[in-house]
Amino acid sequence: MIKTLIDLFKNKDTRAKILFTLAMLFVFRVGAAITVPGIDTSKLISGLSGNSLVTMMNIIGAGSWQTFSIFSMGVGPYITSSIVVELLAMDIIPPLAELKKDGQKGRQQLDKITRYVAVVLGFIQAYTLTMTFDISYGILVDGSPTTYSYIATILTAGTFLLVWIGDRIAAFGIGNGISMIIFAGIVSSLPYQFTASFMTLVDFTADSAAIFTGLLKFALIVIMYIAIIVLVIFTDTAQRKIPVQYTSSSRRRGARDINYLPLKINSASVMPVIFASTIMVAPKTIMNLISGAKWFKLTDFTKSLITVFDYISDFTKPGGLILYVVLIYAFTFFYTHIQVDPEKISENLNKSGTYIPGVRPGTETKNYITKVLNRITVLGALFLCFIAALPYLLSMFTDIPSTISMGGTSIIIVVGVALETVKDLKNQLTQKEYKGFMKR
């Protein structure tokens, strides 16, 4: 690893890309410290602590609603827009489906549409959340629609400045720009989380026995962090290799010449957790927004509805946690089949003159890939359910609060981005070595 780092910085082009990426991430962190004008953030910190929806929005978008900075929304609206457009392009809206099949030019048009949709979604999200926080916590002196629109415009502009930074990183830096921004947002919060956890668990004003118990609890959290990282790395790199052969092969292949079709155990990554969290917490947020409005009158039915939503969105209760796990399990299969299309894989294999030994091309190949994909996705779904439920299980069976226990979702994102970035850097080193060999 050390040798790889030395080789990376020895290479002029790679060193320039790394430094450019670090510079862009520095701009991101500076912007994350600039608070939107007219906001009283002291009223937000206590109110938003432990809010599941806000926590998930911060993770996926690399934002920080507690500080209400110009980058509070992060790249969340762009990611949401990408998912929406991707779903609509699956033969739901024919023109979008045609653009998806139209190669690089079609992908550029889809990306342009994604950005337009992200502007609308970003403004609506910023306006709604600003109004919700003002109604709930009184963060604004002047809570008028004009003020809400002004702040929403600033937050939307901040989001697209981050998208631009992500584009610059992808073009002139290292790795996927959007992923790097999310990675930086999560990593930058880790020191604070560990410090807050330590200060909460270890009370130096108590007796020695209580201090020792607190230190043991903190050590348990650190050990579990490391264990989850190892588990995530294992699951992220685990593959089911399906052997394939070429019909044009004129000689018998040896064991080392066999090609494989790799299928990841967890093709859905962290998206099912995000979908499940949003669906469970969004109804409560909407009801709280409506109930806080002056024109809304509470009835017995709406009070009961709010109580039900409060119970469902509380992952520390058995009912809410079970529903959360079931949704994650279901969404894992749904999103896996969005990411990996067995029919398209079968078509590509057929076009390239490739087949799976013992399986006929066409429908049988598609069915075989679907069966294998479903089997390995069971493991991926169980893994995601365990990682997502672990903080809340710990709070149920121990006295460790769920707000300071390990965030499995953020670890999945950080480890995934880190592995992809290291892989990208090694590939660039390999390409430079090949170029140097050709020059000789």
DSSP string spanning 384-398?
Answer: HHHHHHHHHHHHHHS
Contact (CB, 8 A) for 129 and 292:
no
Please state the CATH superfamily assignment of the domain spanning residues 205-440 in this structure: SecY subunit domain (1.10.3370.10)
- Distance CA(328)–CA(270), nearest Å, equals 10
What three-state secondary structure class fits 63? coil
Q: How far apart are CA 390 and CA 384, in angstroms?
A: 10
Contact call for residues 369 and 342 (beta carbons, < 8 A) = yes
d(C-alpha 328, C-alpha 325), whole Å: 5
356: nearest Cα among 248, 267, 260? 260
Q: Which amino acid is at 330?
A: A
Residue 259 has phi, psi (to 5 degrees) of -95, 155
CA distance 268 to 84: 16
The pair of three-digit structure tokens given for residue 92, joined into one six-digit string: 């739901």
The number of C-alpha atoms within 13 Å of 131 and in the hemisphere containing its C-beta is: 22
State how far the Cα of 378 lies from the Cα of 306, in Å rounded to an integer. 34
Instruction: Report which of 301, 237, 312, 308 is spatially closest to residue 277, judged by C-alpha positions.
Output: 312
Taken in order 70, 73, 79, 84, the sign of the CA dihedral is: negative
Token pair of 196 as six digits:
């807050």
Mean pLDDT of each 10-residue bin along the chain, 440 residues long: 69 84 91 84 64 62 73 85 81 80 81 91 86 79 83 92 92 85 83 80 82 86 83 84 74 57 84 77 66 60 71 75 89 86 86 85 89 91 86 73 62 81 77 53
- Name the H helices within 173-247: 177-201, 208-237
* CB neighbourhood size of 298 (10 A): 10
- Residue 396: is it exposed, middle or buried by C-beta count within 10 angstroms (0-12/13-18/19+)? middle
Q: What integer pLDDT is reported at residue 255 of this predicted model?
A: 46
The C-alpha atoms of residue 56 and residue 63 are separated, in whole angstroms, by: 10
C-alpha neighbours within 13 Å on the C-beta side of residue 248:
6
d(CA 340, CA 55): 29
Distance CA 266, CA 239 (A): 9
- Give the pLDDT score at 115: 92
- 3.20.20.70, 1.10.3370.10, 3.40.50.300, 2.40.50.220: which CATH number matches 15-201? 1.10.3370.10
- Report how far apart, in Å, the C-alpha atoms of 260 and of each of 257, 283, 419, 426, 435 are: 10, 45, 21, 22, 27
Question: Is the distance from CB of 413 to CB of 274 less than 8 angstroms?
Answer: no
Amino acid symbol at 416 = G
DSSP letters of 129-179? HHHHHHHHH---SS--HHHHHHHHHHHHHHHHHHHHHHHHHHHHSSS-HHH
Query: Whole-prediction pTM value?
Result: 0.77
Question: CA-CA distance, 375 to 359, in Å (whole number)?
Answer: 18
Ranges of each domain in the chain? 15-201, 205-440
CB 419 within 8 Å of CB 237: yes
DSSP 202: -
Contact 320, 312 (CB under 8 A): yes
DSSP state of 255: G
**Considering just the CA atoms, what is the radius of gyration of the chain in Å?**
24
Beta bridge pairs of residue 69: 35
Is 267 within 8 Å of 336 (Cβ atoms)?
Answer: yes
Query: Residues 333, 340: contact at Cβ < 8 Å?
Result: no
Q: For residue 67, give every residue at least 6 positions away whose Cβ sits within 8 Å of its Cβ, in sequence order, or none.
A: 32, 33, 35, 41, 44
In terms of DSSP bridges, do strands 239-246 and 259-264 run parallel, antiparallel, or are they unpaired?
antiparallel
Phi, psi of 335 (to 5 degrees): -75, -30
